[in-house]
Amino acid sequence: MLPLQVYPLPFLLFLLLCLQVPSWAKHPKIKLRLVGPRSQAGEGRLEVLYKGQWGTVCDDDFNIHVANVACRELGYDQAINWAHSAKYGSGDGPIWLDNMRCSGTESSLAECASNVWGVTDCNHNEDSGVVCTGPRRLNSAASHIQLQIEEVRIKPILARAKLSSPVTEGAVEVKLQGHWRQVCDAGWTRNNTRVLCGMLGFPHDGQVATGFYRYDLTKKNTFWIHQIKCLGTEVHLGECKLHMLPKAQNQSACPHGMHALVNCIAGPEFQPKKAKLTSHSKPKQEPQVRLRAGAHIGEGRVEVLIGNQWGTVCDEGWNLPAASVVCRQLGYGTAREALSGAQLGQGLGPIHLTRVRCRGHERSLVDCRSQRAAQTGCRHDNDVAVRCNVPQTDVQRQIRLAGGRTSEEGVVEVLVPRGSAFHWGAVCGAHWGLKEAMVVCRQMGKGFASHALQVMVRCKGTELSILQCQHHGPVHCPNGGGVLLQESPLVEETAYLEDRPLNMLYCAHEEGCLSASADRMNWPEGYRRLLRFSSQIHNLGRADFLPKIGRHAWIWHECHRHFHSIEVFTHYDLLTLNGSKVAEGHKASFCLEDTNCPEGKRKLMRLKREHFGCANFGEQGVSVGCWDTYRHDIDCQWIDITDVPLGVIVNPKQEVSESDFSNNALRCQCQYEGHRIWLHGCHTGINTTESLNYDRKINCVP
């Protein structure tokens, strides 16, 4: 009986395989669409409709051949580029395709080799996108493809709307196949208005007084889109359902109606001054959310205030709907991008939330479903960020850089009224700093400021335009900036007192590392009481931190026999609770290098020989993700507290270029009993009451 039990199994397996071949050979019917914010037609996150559900495509093994097939299936000529790592935002739902392999000649993505549908080891942070080129053909072969809206705008009709900047009220127009067309108001809903306002940078919408608009103005118009139907949670009008009429009916597409009208409400930053909300009118029950380390208006790392402490959000499950809730909460529109992996720099302090799930209608991020991140293993290299849609204004046309070697540097000139006309005038004066330069660079869309020379303007650093600052120098605007901070546990653990004889302090005195009272002492008799501690300076930004002057301009100090690459790198000044300075000191940078880096980055840097080091007069700097350590036993690594204790100021004059000036503070509780001192409760960042000002002060409270 044994042969009868053994031989039928291969035959049965063969039979089952044969039965499966026809279903494999028959490619499933799919549809494609491009989703997410895009600057032009044919660009966006690639999504596939399979078995009635939209899903994404993982970027593993994705290449230009796959992109070419997708673009042709969408009706374009070809692909000119493709994007990885969810450049167009993270999608929702299943990830249908992974490890795709196309030759480039296939007519559909369904014909390409890949994993089994829905089988993947990816997450939505790996969603792929494509950039297609050529005019889109909506022929019979692509008749199922959803029509893609290229651009949307509000066309002002009333006189008062034409004078408004930004434009908030008027007729809806969409750009289709290179032509602007108006939208019929038949079936136009409040949800449609919400989506349109959001993608144009407005958080809210209002009622339109249609009585001021004349129906006969629309009689000569041709309406190509008959109806748009949105749920209200979409981030782009192109994600809504579009119902097209046959071409023959274009002339009567809106026989009993008129163009769709909208009235968007700008956030507080973009409203006229007289229309801005007063502090008492803001809803106090709203939890606080802020953006940090963003180079442009409406972008930055997301931080939320919970339990009177600012913290970040982990990127697990982070997507466009959640990012849009943050953007609207802050007075912007919907989100253009939901960024993960600390793409806009790592935060400080606690990580409050993870696995945030929003439907898109929530008024606040804490109204969304989420989990506390304390026990999830999230780290700050998983911090989320957003890039929000912001209204188009004329602020970029009101300023320019003149006389620079590149378009990113030069003398600041602003367009100011003079009589009945506008003229360009140079900004001049004193007290110009990095905060003022940062406003200029943000206003011009150039990124962060790295250098600033003289001028007479006072800015907080958060203004949209230099004209909003208290009223004027050359600035240089790179693509990114470093964030540097003190490592609080190290300061706390290494602090101690030393009574150091004056005969050992000649070099330190020459470099200004002692309080002013040392000048009046009878040298070399006597001593100075020093609070010594070690410190680490971490670069948590997106660009390597470099000395602001070239090595040809470094200053040689004969007493210590070394060069200073940055004459004033860190201030160590003690303050009373009211901010009065009672003790002083500073640290020059004589050796700025990568003392340590994360293990993986350190191995890579060794292979590429790209790390910074001072040995043999090497290049100085701190690489992204690395840190420089100043030990407690080197000269000037102290605060001279001979006279009286309290407080620390870090980078008070913004001498060091940073992407976020609000996180470089170190605050400690300290106790001084004459012969001993200790620090405790040290933390970085600005707390609730300090968030309205940008002092770099850290007070010690006895």
Average pLDDT for 573-590: 58
Average pLDDT for 41-57: 86
Q: Is the pLDDT of residue 79 over 60?
A: yes
| pLDDT band per the 50, 70, 90 thresholds, residue 240 | confident
- Model confidence pLDDT, tens digit, residues 590-641: 677 888 887 666 655 655 556 787 776 777 888 887 888 878 888 888 888 8
Name the percent of the chain lying above pLDDT 90: 13
- Model confidence pLDDT, tens digit, residues 293-341: 777 788 889 999 988 888 999 988 888 889 999 999 999 999 988 888 8
- Model confidence pLDDT, tens digit, residues 461-517: 666 665 666 654 444 454 443 434 445 667 767 778 888 999 999 888 887 788 888
Burial class (CB in 10 A: 0-12, 13-18, 19+), 278: exposed
In 3D, which of 481, 610, 626, 478 has the Cα closest to residue 542?
481
Backbone angles phi, psi at 263, to 5 degrees: -135, 105
Of residues 267 and 14, more confidence is placed in 267
Of residues 643 and 253, more confidence is placed in 643
In 3D, which of 287, 268, 282, 286 has the Cα closest to residue 332?
268
Q: What is the mean pLDDT of the chain?
A: 72
Of residues 59 and 215, more confidence is placed in 59
Omega before 702 within 30 of 0, i.e. cis: no
Type of residue numbered 217: L
Strands 309-313 and 299-306: antiparallel
Q: Is 100 within 8 Å of 114 (Cβ atoms)?
A: yes
Q: Is 648 within 8 Å of 573 (Cβ atoms)?
A: yes
**How far is residue 140 from each of residues 31, 45, 435, measured CA to CA in Å?**
14, 24, 57
Most confident stretch, 248-252, 615-619, 683-687: 615-619
| pLDDT band per the 50, 70, 90 thresholds, residue 439 | low
| pLDDT band per the 50, 70, 90 thresholds, residue 2 | very low
Q: Is the pLDDT of residue 376 over 60?
A: yes
pLDDT of residue 700: 32
Q: Name the least confident of 276-285, 286-295, 525-534.
A: 276-285
Of residues 227 and 98, more confidence is placed in 98
Of residues 372 and 558, more confidence is placed in 372
Q: Is the pLDDT of residue 250 over 90?
A: no
Q: In the structure encoding, which two tokens stand for residue 400, read together?
A: 């320019």
Q: Is the pLDDT of residue 202 over 80?
A: yes
Name the percent of the chain lying above pLDDT 70: 59
pLDDT of residue 195: 92
pLDDT of residue 338: 85
What letter does residue 643 receive in the DSSP assignment?
S
Q: Is the pLDDT of residue 527 over 80?
A: yes
Residue 169 makes CB contacts below 8 A (sequence gap 6+) with 154, 156, 158, 161, 208, 261, 262, 263, 264
Q: Is the pLDDT of residue 224 over 70?
A: no
User: Beta-strand (E) ranges in 534-591?
Assistant: 535-539, 555-557, 562-564, 566-571, 574-575, 581-583, 586-589
